[in-house]
């Protein structure tokens, strides 16, 4: 039996860490993971809550105002949000690996490259804001709603540009484990948002434009606070000020960012399409109401797997950047296992409260019965979502974004959606068939990502990360 002092010696000695007991290794890795995940959960819940608060204030103005804000936020802003959030995740690969390789100055350079790429992307996406009304008309929205949502979309342009700066700042801090700063700033932004919403909408009565302005203001407060934190001495090793080096290597950076954007945007839009398909069913009002309740529950719970997505990406990137392939593999195992345990907890909760959880949103017996029928699908969606985002995080940490983008296209849009349409309309299963078919797409995607992860040569990935750091750190 190993003596206590020998265990301590091994724990302190990095070269023989693999001989430390499994329980100690899991505990140490879990602590590193939760340092990232816990603040990330808080930050994502806060961001989600800001949108809910905005919709709540809009709802007090009228049904059309609520629908206009919801459509503009979901369709127009949602598209640019998903794309630029995905593009910013390229920093999780590069900054994470650079931090692991102790090339600290490169984190600031990578962030500035991301600002440039995302700002140009934001400019290119402006037409969807200016032409939101005709775009929404093409999707079948009523003329009055499309016109109102088009006006709101134009007022959301400042919010749109805030994404280009906030997302890289968040990932820059996240990759160097300054996650508490992200959480605190998100909390401050939420408090500011509540106050400004009350002031602009309830007190000054600026109406629908005031509602849009509050979200713009709150997000830019978060941007300015993040930048002030970074530039005022809190990141002395990773922020060396603005650098002309940021304008070099932009093409390679753009390719990785684009692959990341496509990868996450395809995931972000997948279940939005579910609601659009359900809206085209006959007598779809109850089905859409029930599905919206299920998607709201799924959206709140999804903040946890998305936090694990971020945490896994950082941990895998850090270990690969440090040349520790075995460490990256172990971080993956711990993260996947932890997320599955949490997913099983929520699966049991939904299955136990299948006929009760919808009371939070509705007292209609017809809607409650419809939600009850969908609860099994919701439970399995939550369970799958406890695995799939974590595996996507492994892909981001390893730099596999382009591969996963192809996997997402194939499984989501060539398997899931066609199967959902087939089961929903041809076999007359309605919303159950549509959702069930799309879950099959997610299940196939999860199996493929799991196979890629299991078959991964982690030592080779560590060498690739080292080569990438050497190549990208050279001035062009």
CA 184-187-193 angle, 5° bins: 145
Residue in 271, 2, 239, 258 with CA at minimum distance from that of residue 107: 239
Instruction: Indicate the DSSP class of residue 360.
Output: G
Tokens matching residue 136: 């929404």
CA–chain centroid gap for 409, Å, is 18
Per residue of the chain (476 residues), what is the pLDDT tens digit?
A: 444 433 333 334 444 444 568 889 999 999 999 988 999 889 888 888 887 788 778 777 776 777 677 778 777 887 888 888 888 888 888 888 888 888 888 999 999 999 999 999 999 999 999 998 998 888 777 788 788 888 989 999 999 999 999 999 999 998 888 888 999 999 999 999 999 989 988 888 888 888 888 999 999 999 999 999 999 988 999 998 888 888 888 888 888 888 877 777 777 777 667 666 665 666 555 676 677 778 778 877 888 998 898 889 889 988 998 889 999 999 999 999 999 999 999 999 999 988 887 777 667 788 788 888 888 989 999 999 899 889 988 988 888 888 888 888 899 889 988 998 898 888 878 888 888 888 899 899 999 999 999 999 999 888 888 887 766 555 54
Q: Can you tell me whether residue 458 is helix, strand or coil? A: helix
**Do 315 and 336 contact (CB within 8 A), yes or no?**
no
Q: Is the whole-model pTM more than 0.85?
A: no
Contact 434, 420 (CB under 8 A): yes
* 18 CB neighbour count, 10 Å cutoff: 10
Name the residue ranges covered by the structural domains of the chain. 38-247, 252-476
């Amino acid at each position: 039996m190993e003596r206590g002092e020998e265990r301590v010696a091994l724990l302190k000695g990095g070269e023989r860490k693999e001989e430390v007991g499994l329980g100690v290794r899991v505990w140490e890795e879990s602590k590193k993971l939760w340092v990232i995940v816990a603040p990330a959960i808080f930050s994502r819940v806060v961001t989600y809550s800001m949108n809910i608060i905005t919709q709540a204030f809009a709802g007090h103005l009228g049904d059309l105002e609520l629908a206009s804000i919801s459509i503009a936020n979901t369709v127009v802003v949602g598209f640019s949000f998903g794309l630029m959030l995905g593009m910013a995740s390229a920093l999780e690969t590069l900054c994470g690996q650079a931090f692991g390789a102790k090339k600290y100055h490169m984190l600031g350079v990578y962030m500035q490259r991301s600002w440039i790429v995302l700002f140009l992307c934001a400019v290119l996406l402006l037409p969807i804001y200016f032409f939101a009304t005709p775009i929404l008309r093409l999707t079948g929205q009523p003329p009055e709603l499309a016109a109102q949502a088009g006006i709101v979309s134009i007022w959301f342009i400042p919010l749109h540009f805030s994404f280009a700066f906030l997302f890289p700042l968040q990932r820059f801090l996240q990759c160097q484990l300054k996650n508490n700063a992200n959480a605190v700033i998100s909390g401050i932004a939420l408090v500011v948002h509540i106050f400004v919403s009350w002031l602009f909408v309830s007190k000054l009565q600026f109406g629908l434009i005031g509602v849009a302005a509050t979200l713009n203001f709150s997000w830019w407060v978060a941007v300015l606070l993040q930048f002030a934190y970074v530039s005022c001495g809190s990141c002395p090793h990773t922020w060396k000020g603005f650098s002309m080096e940021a304008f070099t290597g932009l093409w390679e950076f753009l390719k990785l960012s684009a692959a990341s954007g496509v990868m996450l945007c395809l995931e972000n839009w997948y279940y939005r399409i579910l609601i659009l398909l359900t809206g085209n069913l006959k007598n779809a009002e109850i089905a859409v109401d029930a599905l919206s309740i299920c998607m709201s529950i799924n959206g709140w719970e999804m903040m946890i797997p998305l936090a694990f997505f971020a945490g896994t990406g950082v941990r895998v990137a850090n270990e690969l950047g440090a040349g520790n392939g075995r460490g990256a593999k172990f971080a993956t195992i711990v993260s996947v296992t932890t997320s599955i345990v949490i997913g099983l907890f929520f699966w049991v909760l939904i299955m136990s409260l299948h006929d009760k959880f919808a009371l939070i949103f509705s007292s209609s017996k017809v809607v409650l019965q419809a939600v009850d029928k969908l609860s099994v699908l919701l439970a399995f969606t939550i369970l799958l979502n406890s695995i799939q985002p974590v595996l996507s995080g492994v892909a981001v940490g390893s730099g596999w974004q382009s591969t996963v983008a192809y996997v997402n296209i194939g499984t989501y849009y060539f398997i899931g959606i066609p199967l959902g349409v087939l089961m929903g309309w041809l076999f007359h299963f309605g919303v159950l068939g549509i959702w069930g078919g799309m879950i099959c797409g997610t299940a196939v995607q999860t199996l493929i990502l799991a196979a890629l992860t299991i078959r991964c040569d982690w030592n080779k990935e560590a060498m690739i990360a080292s080569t990438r750091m050497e190549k990208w750190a050279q001035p062009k």
